[in-house]
Amino acid sequence: MKTKINLDSWNRKEHFLFFKQMEEPFYGLTTRVDCTLAYAKAKELGVSFFNFYLFKTLKAVNACEPFRLRIIDNDPWIFERIDASATIMREDQTFGFSLMKYHPDLDTFNTIALQEIKRIQGTSGLLTREFPHENLIHFSSIPWVDFQGLSHARGFSYPDSCPKISYGKMIDENGKKTMAISVHVHHGLVDGIHVGKFLECLQEYLND
């Protein structure tokens, strides 16, 4: 379900209209998250760490209202639920775009994720199914690189407003595990304060 934002009464009207007209309205930043407790919890539960931190990320996305905003036909809308399109690697070192629907229960979400990973690994090509185009985050993991910055391939003519969240290689220093995280968002919908609140929320969920 989605609800159209009343632009005339929205306190972000000017911000939305200002950034929406730009050829590149996205901006991004890179920081680190502490995943020490999250990694231990995933191992304790027998859940793959990738599925675990994807679940925590989606939980934070759905808890942060600006990350549920999308632009449809030039108007802002807010979605009730946001899912993930995550890149899934195959044995031949190609990847496919998945669709993993968010569920607030970890066991249920893990089952959904495992089924979709298995499906992707049994296919070839990039686009292996139909996708909703709005209520998604674009999610990727680059576990081979401890990056300090990240950019994304973008078609500027495509009306995209989905956040893009990527994780890097996990680094262990003196028993503390951290990962780089890159967050790219549409500035007409999400400001720096909102990214900050999202990252605070994410860290709380990773520590929970």
Write out the catalytic residue numbers: 187
Give the containing element (helix H, strand E) for 52. helix 49-63
Q: How far apart are CA 137 and CA 164, in angstroms?
A: 6
Tokens of 54: 């994807």
Residue environment code for 3-32, b if the CB has 16+ CB neighbours within 10 A, otherwise e: eebeeeeeebeeebeebbeeeebbebeeee
Q: How far apart are CA 58 and CA 54, in angstroms?
A: 6
Instruction: Tell me the residue length of the chain.
Output: 208
Q: How far apart are CA 59 and CA 64, in angstroms?
A: 9
Give Cβ neighbours of residue 198 (< 8 Å, ≥ 6 apart).
Answer: 60, 61, 64, 66, 67, 183
